[in-house]
Chain A
Amino acid sequence: MRLANRLRHAWFWRPLIAGSFGALLALYLALPVVWLVRTSLMAEIDAMSVPPRIIPEKVSWEAYALLFNASASRPLIGVQEIYEVLPSLGNSTLVAVSVAFLNLLFGAPAAYALARLTFAANRWFLFLYVLTRMVPLVALMIPLYLVVRSIGLLNTRTALIVVHTALTLPFTVWLLKEYFSTVPRDLEDAARVDRCNWLRMMLYVLLPVAAPGLIAASMFAFMFSWNEFLFALLFTNTIASKTVTVAVAGFISDLSLPRTVVAAAGVLALLPPVFVALLLQRQITQGLVAGAVKG
């Protein structure tokens, strides 16, 4: 077919136009992050150059080396905050992984009850879980701070783990309930015929079948906890407890810090949740849509 003929048809133009807009969209979504990664991989002098260099002349791992070897560089830089990044990543990992685990530990049994058992209260429970979505976090801020302070859990990771678990559990229960409802009952019945008790049936029959759902639900909780800032800011203020969002936020107001190092800390902070989201793209998308339109 000749070119002139092709140009007259929508089927020729449509993918081209959509593709160009798609490319623009991709740039919009990715460029800010690319810019951060770029800055983290520059030598400090290059990062401060005016006008800014779009593409650095050479890649430098200096900033990451400083973060990972903070104690050695401490006398040189003399800035406390750099020393905090590595422990804060550890704290965030511990908190977020614990939150994800506790969500499954408490959420899976509750979800099973809502999906499988017939009892009068289950509608009420579900209503309560949906009701928690209406509670704004700022309204919990002051009372929770007072509670945590009065039981002496300020500056502990425990306080943050417990609060994050409470905030994420209702969504987890709801999501797992949806997943469990899609698993055929025959499997459980077969397990019962084999005289399996409930715990064994859960561990060896239902949970393995619902594994994709378990992974998705726990990763939603993980990402929430890793990214959460308000309660982390209020509850954790020491090196032993501070999470990475608090550490990075502390960086931002301090203009004396090397820019490349702040960027590197930002990259390390966004890597785990972004990695998880891309890895579980389908489940996350489905979970978001279902959570938004079903409820």
Chain B
Amino acid sequence: MVTSVSAGRKGRRHVDLSEPTFGVLLNTPTLLLITALMFYPILASLWGSLHFQRLRLGSLPKFVGYKNYADILGREEFWEALRVSAVFGGATLVAVTVLGVGAALVLNEEFPGRGFVRALVLVPWAVPPVVNGLLWQWIFDGKVGILNQLFLDMGVIDSYRSWLANPNPAIVMAVLVFAQVWKTVPFAIIVLLAALQAIPVDLHDAARVDRAGSWARFRHVTLPWLTPALVVVLIVETLTAFQTFDLIYVLTGGGPGTTTTTLVWLTYLTAFDRLDLGHGNAYAYIIAMVQFTLAAAYIFSLRSNKSISQ
């Protein structure tokens, strides 16, 4: 190390800085940016959540202590939004897991055109979430959507219906989940496929020698290897679903009624529609708390599962 320091000094002969100073200097722009635009705001949000403030210019914050939180926890809309978020996240998670594992297993097999399908996996991942909403809005459209015609031809329905303005909240939620899954399952497929490819071939060979059937091999060889990656996928997908904003903005606007009003959507409405920053910040902070907990679980699971990070 001593030699590398002196070599470094010789290299930078014009600016003769010590290695630590130089290291800190090189990180300064990044540190300044994330401090100003991420760490400061997250604290400002906490501060703001303890104040009463309107969005209009010149409105000064007034300290109210934990009143905003007390208000929120006493409101029906908070618990309803929490429930909607949980249903949306839960349904997405189940669908992403089943579809993700299935697709990764298929793409781990040899078949003609596999490279092409693997490339296609990146398409939904890269599509802007706003455009994702646009895609499904039309497919589920009540007048000219293809789904109506498809279902009509198959005899599932007997007349065209509106899927996104449906009186049945479960149907609207299902549409939302469908769109979310299409956009986020590629991440699951990519990570799970990478984990599958890391399984040593000898493990399967050894299991075959032991006359393990294909289900037994999946259960005792593949699944244990897949589990750490699966945990990562589950947590990342939960965080993503929990934070979903664009899709709801485009597809349902939180409606009909409040059937798709998630916590994030409620936060946005409170701050930028009702112009109530204090309660908006309190909502935001509750989200941040849930997120911190989930993310901490994520990092903890990474630490305890070093096997997948080689």
* Residues of A participating in the B interface, judged by any CB pair closer than 8 Å: 14-16, 18-19, 21-23, 25-26, 28-30, 32-33, 35-36, 39, 47-52, 54, 105-107, 109-110, 112-114, 117-122, 125, 128-130, 132-147, 149, 162-163, 165-167, 169-170, 173, 189, 191-192, 195-198, 201, 223, 226-227, 229-230, 233-234, 244-245, 248-249, 251-253, 259, 262-263, 266, 269-270, 273-274, 276-278, 281, 284-285, 288-289, 292-295
Contact = CB atoms under 8 A, between A and B. Distances in A.
A253 B133 CA distance: 12
A266 B107 CA distance: 29
B81 interface: no
A289 B194 contact: yes
Contact of A110 (B30, B37, B122, B246): B30
B288 to A, nearest CB: 4
Nearest to A233: B249
Contact of A167 (B10, B38, B191, B295): B38
Nearest to B116: A26
B133 to A, nearest CB: 7
A170 B34 contact: yes
B126 A136 contact: no
B120 A139 contact: no
Contact of B37 (A167, A263, A277, A285): A167
Contact of A143 (B40, B186, B232, B309): B40
B55 to A, nearest CB: 8
B127 A142 contact: no
29 contacts: A22-B111, A23-B113, A35-B138, A39-B138, A117-B8, A121-B20, A121-B27, A125-B27, A135-B38, A138-B243, A138-B268, A139-B285, A142-B281, A192-B11, A197-B14, A226-B128, A227-B126, A229-B128, A229-B249, A245-B130, A248-B128, A249-B130, A259-B138, A269-B128, A273-B127, A274-B123, A281-B122, A288-B191, A292-B232
A248 B19 contact: no
B36 A294 contact: no
Interface stretch (B41-49, B67-75, B215-223): B41-49
A113 B26 contact: yes
Contacts of B250: 249, 252
B95 interface: no
B113 A22 contact: yes
A121 B124 contact: no
Given A30-B123, A32-B182, A113-B26, A25 B236 contact: no
Interface stretch (B86-94, B142-150, B167-175, B199-207): B142-150
B254 interface: no
A143 B48 contact: yes
Contacts of A106: 29-30, 33
A264 to B, nearest CB: 11
B46 to A, nearest CB: 9
Contact of A50 (B126, B144, B190): B144
B138 A36 contact: yes
Given A132-B38, A139-B288, A273-B128, 10 more contacts: A18-B111, A47-B144, A114-B27, A135-B42, A136-B284, A141-B284, A170-B34, A234-B272, A245-B130, A278-B126
Question: How many B residues are at the interface, by size bracket?
Answer: 35 or more
A125 B107 CA distance: 38
Contacts of B232: 292-293
Given A35-B146, A106-B29, A273-B127, A14 B109 contact: yes
Contacts of B182: 28-29, 32
Given A133-B295, A169-B30, A295-B302, A119 B131 contact: no
A19 B112 CA distance: 7
B121 interface: yes
A52 B145 contact: yes
B34 to A, nearest CB: 6
A201 B10 CA distance: 12
A277 B126 contact: yes
Nearest to A48: B144
A284 B191 CA distance: 12
B183 to A, nearest CB: 10
A229 B281 contact: no
Contacts of A122: 23, 27
